[in-house]
Structure 1
Amino acid sequence: MKAIRIHEFGGPEVMKMETVARPVPAAGEILVKVYAASVNPADYVIREGGNDFLRPYLQLPMGLGIDLAGVVEAVGAGVENFKPGDRVYGLPNFLDGAYTEYLAARATQFARMPGTATFNEAAAMASCASIAWNGVMELGNVQAGQRILIHGAAGGVGNMALQFAKSRGAYVIGTASAHNFDFLRSLGADEVVDYKDENFETLLHDVTVVFNASPVRDAAMRMKSVQVMQEGGIFVCTQVDFPFSEAFINALAAKQATATFIGGTNLDFGYRLAEVATLVDEGKVKAVISKVYPWEEVAAAHRESETRHVRGKIVLEIRKEEEI
């Protein structure tokens, strides 16, 4: 089978398509015939050698890609909730890489695809939906009527967080560039703030949950976020490589607020994707795809991702939908 792998860290040119052995699912794993994978900021961070959080785990040669959709080809011993032919979406084992024709991974990292979604749409949601679900539904515990502020609301994680919060009946405010305002409103945003030209800290108040899904590491933005939070609020952050400062922690404490990171190597969260699939089929959540590339054009896809101005997700199409 074919897979895209790297043998050195660097720019998009280090990614090579090569022939590798097709994996065999171990006990508790499924073998997936991959139809689509998406491109995430984590992919080019890993390709370049990682950040402080990821670097200790990286070993060359390695694959890239952290989410995918496809069809179950075979199941390992002990797997009872999937069978060959099931259309699934999920994540590979930690750092195994999803840019591949076949993938063996723990069954607990997958769920059945939404019945209304294509492979490309499902692949565009898997990792971002899981992160956003963890941040909004679990760590943030967003409830109807609460005010939630989402930084980076037009991105892959941010737009999922926005949709999940709206499905709970929250009042959602998103920060983004001005050209994304109509897009965020179409997803249900109640307010939008231009992160470039408007000072959200003077415009907003009584925010229960701040969800920071922005790719920009900005200590000042964190401090400003505390200003708009209500007493006992929650700050949830995806930037595991950018520690909270002492000043930020003290500012939170003064408001009896808390902060937490999303992250870790435990990827057994197929249960989240099953919940997401239900919301998709109910019409409450949808995939947002910026562009679909043939996977042979992975370098171009990475270059576009690195602009940090992608609306939703970039998808690599590995097989056509009709090739079942």
Structure 2
Amino acid sequence: MKAVVIRRYGTVEVLQYETVDRPTIKPDQILVKIYASSVNPIDWKTRKGMLQFLSGNRFPMILGFDLAGEVVEVGAKVTQFQPGDSIYGSTSFPGGAYAEFAAIPEKLAAPKPTNLNYEQAAVVPLAALTALQALRDQGNIQSGQTVLVNGAAGGVGIFAVQIAKALGAVVTGVSSTKNLDFVKSLGADRVIDYTQQDFTQEATRYDIIFDVVAKRSPSEVRRVLQPNGIYITTLPSPESLIQSVLTALFPGQKVKFILEKPNTQDLVYLKELIEAGKIHPVIDRTFPLAELAAAHAYSESERAAGKIAIAVASEQ
């Protein structure tokens, strides 16, 4: 099968498109013919060696977490799927979706939303699960609350805005000038241009601040959080780690960070929201698998509005 492989950490030049053996499945896994994948920051951060403490030096390595495709083989212990099923889901760390086939645990997949094609479905899992679990599980979001999403035009941000709205919140999205209308189109009640305004210096207070881009610190946002407000970040800093422990011990404002946990139940929940028209993926650009290096470079530029899809194979 064709796949993009790395044999060392480094720049986009380490991504090599080549032929490798098709993976074999374990009893609790399904073999998926991948039609599409996507790019998330964790992919290129792993490629650059920024997560080497987790990924080690297990080369050759195939990256990529998100996938959508067709089940072609199931393990002996698999009960939810059978060959021919259309699914979407995630691989285990450090990846494996930048390939024509992947063996993934049954518990990391769900039926593909019926109103999405494979490329649309493939950009959903990691980003949307991050947004859902941050707002629902870490933020305990309630209808009528005020939520600010910092980085509202990015991969996680687009889903955070839509999920917060679907759960009844009043949403403010922070983005650059060129993406203000885009963020409004996602359903944001209010938008802030960070090049013109600093939301931490305004009078408005929020029940939840979700810092998708991890650009503001807990001390910076404290004054614009409600007395019992929650600040959630995607990338814990030394300050936020310390504050997450300290604020857990006392009443008042909380500091939390989100570590996405892929699972079938949440993927099914997202599928239901998507099929009900309450949330939808937005693809900024699609690259073929052979041009993954260009896709990584584009993601690293932080210019994408929405998600970056990877076309792996054509649907038969």
Same fold (TM over 0.5): yes
More off after superposition, 166-175 vs 248-257: 248-257
C-alpha distance in 2 between matches for 1:134 and 1:19 = 36
Corresponding position of 1:313: 307
Corresponding position of 1:233: 229
C-alpha distance in 2 between matches for 1:248 and 1:131 = 18
Alpha carbons 1:223, 1:248 under 8 Å: kept:
no
- TM-score when normalising by structure 1: 0.91
SS in 2 for 1:17: strand
Q: 1:245 Cα shift?
A: 6.5
Q: 1:152 Cα shift?
A: 0.6
Q: 1:290 Cα shift?
A: 0.4
Alpha carbons 1:230, 1:255 under 8 Å: kept:
no
**What letter matches 1:23 in structure 2?**
P
Q: 1:247 Cα shift?
A: 7.3
- Whether 1:9 and 2:5 are equivalent positions in the alignment is no
SS in 2 for 1:62: coil
Mapping of residues 1-324 of structure 1, within 5 Å: 1-51=1-51, 54-59=52-57, 60-214=59-213, 216=215, 218-219=216-217, 222-240=218-236, 243-244=239-240, 256-263=252-259, 267-320=261-314, 323-324=315-316
Question: Which runs of 4 or more aligned residues in structure 1 lie more than 6 Å from their structure 2 counterparts after TM superposition?
Answer: 247-255
SS in 1 for 2:97: coil
- Inter-CA distance 268–177: structure 2 relative to 1 (3 Å threshold): closer
Alpha carbons 1:137, 1:164 under 8 Å: kept:
no
Q: Quote the sequence identity (%).
A: 37
- TM-score when normalising by structure 2: 0.94
Alpha carbons 1:36, 1:316 under 8 Å: kept:
yes
More off after superposition, 284-293 vs 42-51: 42-51
Alpha carbons 2:46, 2:94 under 8 Å: kept:
no
C-alpha distance in 2 between matches for 1:241 and 1:71 = 39
- Inter-CA distance 117–242: structure 2 relative to 1 (3 Å threshold): farther
C-alpha distance in 2 between matches for 1:248 and 1:27 = 39
SS in 1 for 2:123: helix
Between the two proteins, the alignment pairs up a number of residues equal to: 315
| Alignment gaps of 5+ in structure 2 | none
Q: 1:58 Cα shift?
A: 2.8
Alpha carbons 2:210, 2:233 under 8 Å: kept:
yes
Can you list the C-alpha shifts for 1:30-86, whole angstroms capped at 9, x where unaligned?
A: 1100000101111111111124xx534332221111111101111111111111111
SS in 1 for 2:72: strand
- Inter-CA distance 204–77: structure 2 relative to 1 (3 Å threshold): farther
**What letter matches 1:159 in structure 2?**
I
- Inter-CA distance 280–56: structure 2 relative to 1 (3 Å threshold): closer
- Inter-CA distance 26–252: structure 2 relative to 1 (3 Å threshold): closer
Alpha carbons 2:12, 2:297 under 8 Å: kept:
yes
C-alpha distance in 1 between matches for 2:48 and 2:15 = 11
Alpha carbons 2:90, 2:262 under 8 Å: kept:
no
Q: 1:21 Cα shift?
A: 1.5
SS in 1 for 2:121: helix
Alpha carbons 2:125, 2:267 under 8 Å: kept:
yes
- Inter-CA distance 302–195: structure 2 relative to 1 (3 Å threshold): same
Q: 1:268 Cα shift?
A: 4.5
- Inter-CA distance 254–105: structure 2 relative to 1 (3 Å threshold): closer
C-alpha distance in 2 between matches for 1:123 and 1:99 = 12
